[in-house]
Structure 1
Amino acid sequence: MKTMVMALPTPPLVLMLLLCALSTNSSFQPALVLEMAKILLENYCFPENLVGMQEAIQQAIDSGEILRISDRKTLASVLTVGVQGALNDPRLTVSYEPNFVPVMPPLLPSLPIEQLIRLVRNSVKVDILENNIGYLRIDRIIGEETAATLGSLLRDNIWDKIAHTSSLIFDLRYSTAGQLSGIPFIISYFSDPVPIIHIDTVYDRPSNTTRELWTMPSIKGERYGKKKDMIILTSKHTMGAAEAVAYTFKHLKRAIIVGERSAGGSVKVRKIRVGGSEFYITVPVARSFNPITGQSWEVSGVSPTVNIIAKEAVAKAKYLLAVRGAIPSIVQSISNIIERSYAFTDKVPALLHHLQSTDLFSVISEEDLAIRLNQDLQTVSEDPRLIIKYLQDNAAIVEEDPELLGYIINTLFRIELLPGNVGYLRFDMMADIEVLKAIGTQLTKLVWSKIVNTDALIIDMRFNTGGYSTSVPLLCSYLFDADPLRHLYTIFDRTTTTMTEVMTLPQIRGQRYGSSKDVYILTSHMTGSAAEVFTRTMKDLNRATIIGEPTTGGSLSSGTYRIRDSILKESTITNFPNNFN
């Protein structure tokens, strides 16, 4: 820790003039206000903000408002509003307390060792949960002297117990008291010994000193280190030193914060008697500067990474640890698939390097992981067809939920009968073949049967940005005769170095539209991916007239790979382009 004395600004000229002008005024209220101003000048932790306050004091005295207030509690309320408004600090309060008796809490280092041990044991809980997850709850953060005195006890009962867990839930939801001097001990256990880290800077106004807090190069017990996952739980009651711990870990990117925004306490607050009166002013006398943000957790509190009510925070933390624990294997699986299957081999080394070095520290869900990987891969590859998606098993869901089945059909498809017995069919996403099979009966009844007997058909693909090319052969099959089967396109699969001819299907559900009736396909610059596969195929086979704008130019064919052996094994699907002929 480093302590420095700061050079103070000269007392504002307006304050000096104010003191001189009113020093002979015996009126109670102005004297009280001037005494308050003196206390703030000597104790308030933001002395640079006091110039504005002096102007507000002068206006209040000049207006005569406080001179007309005879009730002391009302006066205290008015003064509170005035000083808070002038300095924009809700911690500043004025109170009238004729019976106030200061209570000095005992200094912990002066307590007998037995009481210290009992206090620590009552304020700390350690447990090992399923999957070797450590659980550490601290309700009071002890200072450096107490931590040094109880070093062996803390090592044996806390740090060594959690040292070999795979990940940690650090519960600060009930931590409402503590000392800032104990923070370096806690941060150090979850950091490496070198290099030491600048944790915080604390400015104390009464002594006009600044103290820097740093991690410690040596500690008693085994360090947890900075690599294993840690989640900190907070609540609206988390206050003071615990907020400093959470704020520090959050901005060091050492922990994810789960729970509620913390209370927004203060480093140090004093209740000071105003002169010889029975009025007291509560003043924050010290403040914190985080070296990374230049700001503090004071007043505003620590905002959680994942906002959830405090009582549900443990369950959420367990879920997040499961997701985050699966990330390395998921990234490795995706790397293997890219190396094995991605058609553009010249881009593979850069993609693999980026996957291994990408920052996934703050991932908080499967969806979040998929979005981040998707964005990163597309940025590096400059290939919008390289897609990571988080998807549930939609086919299984719709089979179990008839209402959802109807919703999917109504969402995916729009039909209309136009004059001249012309059918209009619009669908904005190419659904997976398994989903189409699952909803086949209802799809045939509610959609296809209503347009299959028209004399011509308009298929609107202007808003179809793509989806799954697995559905293309099925859709094409409805627009050709059953015999002979038609060769739609050929795919070269890099994985097996084989050529596969994709044909129309010999059997489909319901009636075919056939090969003789006119089909028109509408396109736009938004038409992409699998929608382009369908459109291009119909055009090349002279089965449809294409009307509209040039399409996106996305992937004409893709392989679909499921990431297995992880928490995402039933939900994450990755699409990679192959070559199309």
Structure 2
Amino acid sequence: MAKILLDNYCFPENLVGMQEAIQQAISSGEILHISDRKTLASVLTAGVQGALNDPRLSVSYEPNYTPITPHALQSLPTEQLIRLIRNTVKLEVMDNNVGYLRIDRIIGQETVSKLGRLLHDNIWKKVAHTSAMIFDLRFSTAGELSGVPYIVSYFSDSEPLLHIDTIYERPTNTTKELWTMPTLLGERYGKRKEVIVLISKRTIGAAEAVAYILKHLKRAVIVGERSAGGSVKVEKLSVGDSGFYITVPVARSVNPVTGQSWEVNGVSPSVTVNPKEGVAKAKSLIAVRKALPKTVKRVSDIIKRFYSFKDKIPALLNQLLQSKLTEGLYRSVVDYESLASQLTADLQETSGDHRLHIFYCEIEPESFHDIPNIPSLEEVGFIIDALFKVEVMSGNIGYLRFDMMEDIKVVRAIGPQLIKAVWSKLVNTDTLIIDMRYNTGGYSTAIPLICTYFFDARPLKHLYTVFDRSTTTATKVMTLPEVLGQRYGSQKDIYILTSHITGSAAEAFARTMKDLKRATVIGEPTIGGALSSGTYQIGNSLLYASIPNQAILSAVTGKAWSVSGVEPHIAVQANDALNVALKIIGKKQQKKNSGK
């Protein structure tokens, strides 16, 4: 048995020590006490499968076994071959010019050569001109590997030739490479049109090789359930004249892309569905993928019209319309959710802007910038308690935490109560800490009002400029000439605490105060969110694009704020930011006191 394995098993590198292991088992004497031959066969099967981790290896006791040699297909009369092929091939041209081709047996090279013209005229010619194809291998349970290059070649271009598989045979110790073919009878389907391959747990052998190759060439989407996990070639070999036989895989496939194979483990589908639903799922996939170019074009149009960073637009459009789509790199797209995910990843990777986002939504999304609700008198107290935390610390240090930027109309509506409950407690402190570590953003309309409290009345201060891409207008944002209550002024120290979730309008406030050298920022870099993003429906689909449509220009440099967020003056963990601020304030106070 060891000699048969050494000469025939397709993974000879795994057999190191096998002969010695069998000799040791014999020497131990345990198996010599097994008197029942079938029990012995079971024990030996468990031993070789365990040692080599290959479930295809098995030992059997069959004293009356007679090998059956199947007829070679090519030796059959032509009429019989034609009948066989008619029984194993079904085809149809479905709605929307979708071809359906079902093959239940993959014929080999010699049979193809014998029947080439008949196969072309009666089968291939009828589906070659379809705009997409459903290639059904769910019931393909027999076939020859020599036919695989023919099938794969029809779904490839003539140039360049592709190395699609390598077959190693142990008994002859030979390796054969399989390549696509330079010439074929009739027209190729090519590598551009959509191909959906259906598989099931019954799909085995050569059909698995076809599905595996097309999947890893990124030429087809595989739909169904994991295939059977067959073998290139398995032989049942006699162990001398003992009546014992060992079944051994004598050849193996090595895919040049993955370095692995479909054998034993099968082909895993790209989209897992019950095989009975395979055709319906394939049709819906083709519809989604057919809409790809139009969808990508519409996304490009939206970016061209609304994206605020004009200098990044050419690269984005080039990436979307050329390198990704035309090179077939959207093969992973199997539904609108995965399309949205792929588009988002590509846009963000190319632009470096994580705010660009494509999403799938069955219900029309609500705009964030709806008209805000003006609270009633009863609600004002709850709002102030929920949004603001105020404390005057030792050393007359003011602490103000607020977790959301409200709209200017709401702020003005609750202004008197806000002054009384919050601002009046802080305005006379010597130093102010503004905690924005938990503020993820909100409305930007109140930023000028908030900033105004920290500057003098005259002259008005230029805070930043908003460039609106959709209207191509630039608006200077200034401090206000008048505010309710007393100003904090421009002289007292202010510290702003940030974290990695500080976003949108909250970080715009922090960046403005930093740009104008009015505050020291302590904590983590902020999220880099958009001050304003528009939500745009992509055609009539259920896809929407969230596009930053405003660029914020610094009042100091005139350049657009980057998308990387606000870099703090003093970078520390958000949890430590308050303690660091208090230490800095304490040291400044000590220095001031000692100077006196």
Cα distance change, pair 496–276 in 1 and its aligned pair in 2 (3 A) = same
Aligned partners of 2:267, 2:136: CA distance in 1, in Å?
Answer: 14
Q: CA 1:528–1:147 in structure 2 vs 1: closer, same or farther (change >3 Å)?
A: same
Report the equivalent of 1:573: 545
Q: In structure 2, what is the equivalent of residue 371 of structure 1?
A: 341
In structure 1, distance between residues paired with 2:524 and 2:68 = 79
Measure, in 2, the Cα distance between the counterparts of 1:264 and 1:305.
16
Letter in 1 for 2:307: Y
TM value normalised by structure 1: 0.72
Distance 1:454 1:69, change over 3 A: farther
Alpha-carbon offset, residue 553 of structure 1: 6.3
Task: Report the alpha carbon displacement of residue 258 of structure 1 after superposing the two structures with TM.
Answer: 1.8
Q: Is this contact kept in 2: 1:97–1:278, CA < 8 A? A: yes
Residue among 163, 187, 193 paired with 1:198 = 163
The residue that corresponds to 2:23 in the other structure is 58
Q: CA contact under 8 A between 1:52 and 1:86: conserved in structure 2?
A: no
Match of 1:562 in 2: 536
**Given residue 237 of structure 2, which amino acid in structure 1 is its aligned partner?**
I
Cα RMSD, aligned residues only: 4.2
Q: Which residue is equivalent to 2:371?
A: none
Paired residue for 1:72? 37
- Report matched runs for 1:70-469 at 5 Å: 70-355=35-320, 356-358=322-324, 359-393=329-363, 395=365, 455-456=421-422, 462-463=437-438, 465=440
Q: Distance in 1 between matches of 2:7 and 2:333?
A: 46
Q: Paired residue for 2:503?
A: 528
Aligned to 1:46: 11
Q: Deviations over 1:59-118 (max 9, x none)?
A: 211211110101111100000011112222211100122343322222111222222112
Taking a change above 3 Å as real, the CA distance of residues 525 and 215 of structure 1, as seen in their structure-2 partners, is closer
- 1:528, CA displacement in angstroms? 1.6
**Which residue identity is paired with 2:78?**
I
Q: Distance in 2 between matches of 1:289 and 1:419?
A: 68
Q: CA deviation at 1:538?
A: 12
Give the aligned residue type for 1:357.
S
CA distance in 2, matches of 1:524, 1:150: 71
Assess if the C-alpha contact under 8 Å between 2:340 and 2:543 holds in 1. no
Whole-Å Cα distance in 1 between the matches of residues 275 and 436 of structure 2?
47
Structure 2 vs 1, CA of residues 346 and 266 (structure 1 numbering), >3 Å: closer, same or farther? Answer: same
Deviation at 1:268, TM superposition (A): 0.7
Contact preservation (8 Å) 2:235, 2:249: yes
Q: Which residue of 2 aligns with 1:497?
A: 472
- 1:107/1:149 Cα in 2 relative to 1: closer, same or farther (>3 Å)? same
SS in 2 for 1:277: coil
Gaps of 5+ in 1: 1-35, 398-413, 434-447, 478-487, 504-513
Cα displacement (A) at 1:146: 1.4
Please report how far the alpha carbon of residue 536 of structure 1 lies from its aligned counterpart in structure 2 after TM superposition: 7.9
1:331-358: CA deviations, max 9, x gaps? 2222223333333332222222222212
Task: Write the distance in 2 (CA, Å) between the matches of 1:95 and 1:464.
Answer: 72
TM norm structure 2: 0.71
Match runs of 1:9-48 below 5 Å: 36-48=1-13
Structure 1 partner of 2:372: none
SS of residue paired to 1:121: helix
Moved more, 370-379 or 234-243: 370-379
* 1:272 CA drift (Å): 1.6
Residues 419 and 472 of structure 1: is their aligned pair in 2 closer, same or farther, counting only changes over 3 Å?
Answer: closer
* Larger Rg computed on CA atoms: 2
Q: Is the 8 A contact 1:464 1:527 kept in 2?
A: yes
Identity of aligned residues (%): 61
CA offset at residue 494 of structure 1?
2.7
